[in-house]
Amino acid sequence: MRLEPRENISLLHRAMVPVGAALVALLVCSVLIVWAGASPFEALLLFIKGSVGSKFAVSETLTRTIPLIFTGLAAAVAFRAKLWNIGAEGQLYAGACIATWLGTGLIDLPGWLMLPLLFAAGAVAGGLLLLGPTMLKNWLAVDEVVTTLLLNFIVLLFVNWLVFGPWKDPMAMGWPQAAPVVDSAILEPLIAKTRLHWGLVIGLVAALCVWLVMRYTTWGYEIRAVGCNRKASTFVGIPVNSVIIRTALISGGLAGCAGVSELCGLKGYLTLDLSPGFGYSGIVVAMLAALHPIGVVFSALFIAMLSIGADSMSRSLNISNYIADVATAVSLLAVLVSMLLTRYRIRWR
């Protein structure tokens, strides 16, 4: 079996990549469902019903999409510059921590000022958290995969200490959670009587902004150049180290925004289950989107559908909800393989 590069890659061919990957993921999951003792057709039906079958289902799916857009963008921007930021989870919590610190009584401003301030503060916190590993990478060539990954655990343990210790809300009946944010710091629901909040609009605007920056500005051009070929970028005089630091601040900032949006839009207070691994899912989202900022919106929606649908299905059929995790993993693998197959064809012999 050999791989040969394809000469011309048509648009149709490129468009087929996510579709084909999704189909393969569905197929593999059907096998698992049969194995778990349920009918795959019934499961698929319940899956669709649970993710997009009602107003409630759609609103839940869209609510889940919001943090994934932010963390997906964070990964997409960083990976474009070949800065392997695996620490979006920690940056998310860093953003949520700052927003909790500012938003639970330290300051109280009108909502139109309070929310931008909290988002800005969260972005700064996320950005700064990624700055350390980036400096170490630039100056001492320390692998950022290791440092950002380990920082996740440090931040999580720090949050753990906060919500069990100094920030523990005495009104929370002993639950490990911080005090709720003040009213002016709450992101209003987008549709009444659902959990869907204005974070979706902010996420979509962020995606649009990231796309415009990457596509039309010298900043985006530098990020892409550094990511594609660091040696050539150095040769032509692009300030590689500052480009990478800039990228880190943008990427960490976006992940920090995910934390603020979850805190102010969904939970209202800081807990340890603020994010069930949105930082890591963001990597999947970004890869599925082939690192395209607008694509991130759609792949975030896809992953959200997958997890909400699988949750609902597994509850109704009484099978394990780990099937959602498997489906996510399979779809990532399928996309990576199909991305390879757009550029190469397989020849047997």
Partner 1 sequence: MQDKQLLLDIQGITKRFGNLVANDRIGLQLQEGEILALLGENGAGKTTLMNILFGHYVADEGSITVSGIPLQPGSPREALKAGLGMVHQHFTLAENMTVLDNIMLGTESMFSFGRKDGRAREKIRRLCDQYELDVDHRSLVKHLSVGQRQRVEILKALYRDTRILILDEPTAVLTPQESDHLFATLQLLVEKGLAVIFITHKLREVVAASDRCVVLRHGRVTYTSVTAETSIDVLAREMVGGEIPEVRRPPVQSGANLLKLDTITVSDPHHYTLLDNLSLTVNSGEIIGIAGVSGNGQTHLADLISGLITPNSGTLCLHGSEVKKFSPQDMIHHGVGRIPEDRTGTGLIGDMTVKENLALENYTRSPFSRFGLLNFKALSHRTREITSCYDVRCGGPDSAARNMSGGNMQKLILGRVLSENPTVIIANQPTWGLDVGATAFVHRQLIEASRNGAGVIVISEDLDELFTVADFIHVMYKGTLSERIRPADTSARDLGLAMSGQRSVLHSVSLKEVQS
Shortest approach of partner 1 to residue 85 CB, angstroms? Answer: 20
Shortest approach of partner 1 to residue 8 CB, angstroms? Answer: 9
Residues 6+ apart with CB under 8 A from 153: 90
State how far the alpha carbon of 319 is from the alpha carbons of 32, 250, 293, 312, in Å.
10, 40, 35, 10
Which range of residues in 124-132, 222-230, 248-256, 300-308 is near partner 1 by CB under 8 A? 222-230
Shortest approach of partner 1 to residue 69 CB, angstroms? Answer: 25
Size of the site for partner 1 (CB under 8 A): 22
344 phi, psi to nearest 5 deg: -130, 155
d(CA 164, CA 316): 35
Q: Does 209 bind partner 1 (CB under 8 A)?
A: no
Which range of residues in 128-136, 145-153, 155-163, 236-244 is near partner 1 by CB under 8 A? 236-244
Q: Does 238 bind partner 1 (CB under 8 A)?
A: yes
Q: Does 205 bind partner 1 (CB under 8 A)?
A: no
Instruction: Name the residue nearer to partner 1 (CB basis): 43 or 77.
Output: 77
Which range of residues in 33-41, 173-181, 216-224, 246-254 is near partner 1 by CB under 8 A? 216-224
Closest to 13 (Cα-Cα) out of 335, 341, 336 = 341
d(CA 120, CA 170): 29
d(CA 222, CA 311): 41
Maximum C-alpha span of the chain: 70
Q: Does 139 bind partner 1 (CB under 8 A)?
A: no
Shortest approach of partner 1 to residue 147 CB, angstroms? Answer: 24
Q: Does 153 bind partner 1 (CB under 8 A)?
A: no
d(CA 67, CA 79): 18
Binding site for partner 1 (CB under 8 A): 4-7, 216-219, 221, 224-225, 228-229, 231-238, 349
